[in-house]
Amino acid sequence: MTQKIAKTVGIIAAALLLLLIAAYLYRSFTLSNRATGTNVTGLLITGLISGGLITYLWVQLRNARRSVSGIRSESHTVVEGVKRVFKIVLAEGQLNEIYNYENTKKLLKFIPSTKKALVIVRARVLIGYDVKKCRWEINEEQKKLRLLEFPKPEIFSVETDFNYYYFEDDLFNFIGRNDLQQIQELGKEQVKKAALTSGLMKIAADQMKLLLGEVVTANHWQLENMSLIDDYTYPETTVDLLTS
């Protein structure tokens, strides 16, 4: 913006300078003394107008520079809530999902209009356990720790990146912002379903058994009922509820 204003000022000043030179030469070689006096007055008026115009543009240029140099940005972080958690991440997976989006509407209730999109979803999934959901009993005399309830591994976070490879729509059923938002939501749900039914759940369970075994053994205790950790799979209906 500043460069454009400076360039405009330079062009106007050069044009006015050429105009004044041409008028001076014309006055010197072609006009009479009376006409010369009239032209001098005209040149003075022209000079005043030109000077005022250049001054105005120069002031606008300075204001533009000040506004650019005076830009400030402020941000305020508001913490809405804080709570204590005891969650352990034990498995991390990189997933690539190909998601095919298709939506069909009927114009005048009988003319089909379809929009399509092909999306590749790249995701980073973290899976672990919420230890606060565990229940156990302790026998200090015999140094035994018996598991009573043990949760299934959970998805703690899903970081997604969407690459759109194909779009197809028409005038009566075009892809808009709401469609892109829906594609991202459905693609993320697809990633969650794949993660909950993948080998990541077994990896998390094995890691948890290894961790608990090392902690208990290091303190010369015994861990009972560890088989509860082996129940890490989700039924298909439960997977649908968790991802919806």
Enter the pTM of the model. 0.62
Reported as a pLDDT band with limits 50, 70 and 90, residue 117 is: confident
Q: Residue 120 forms beta bridges with which residues?
A: 98, 163
Residue 114 pLDDT? 84
CB-CB neighbours of 77 under 10 Å: 4
Q: What is the mean pLDDT of the segment spanning 68-72? A: 51
Residue 115 or residue 125, greater confidence: 125
Q: Which three-class secondary structure state does DSSP give residue 220?
A: coil
* Amino acid at the residue 137: E
* Amino acid at the residue 118: L
Q: What is the mean pLDDT of the segment spanning 43-71? A: 59
Q: What is the four-CA torsion angle of 231, 232, 235, 239, rounded to 10 degrees? A: 160
Structure tokens at 143: 């140094």
Mean pLDDT for all residues in the chain: 78
Q: Is the pLDDT of residue 93 over 90?
A: yes
Q: Which residues of 99-109 are buried (b: 16+ CB within 10 A; e: fewer)?
A: bebeeeeeeee
Let me know if 145 is exposed, middle or buried by CB neighbors in 10 A (0-12, 13-18, 19+).
Answer: buried
Q: Write the CA distances from 131 to 30, 33, 156, integer angstroms.
A: 101, 104, 13
Q: Is the pLDDT of residue 8 over 50?
A: yes
CA 94 to CA 159: how far, in whole Å? 10
Q: What is the DSSP letter of 57?
A: H
Helices (H), 94-176: none
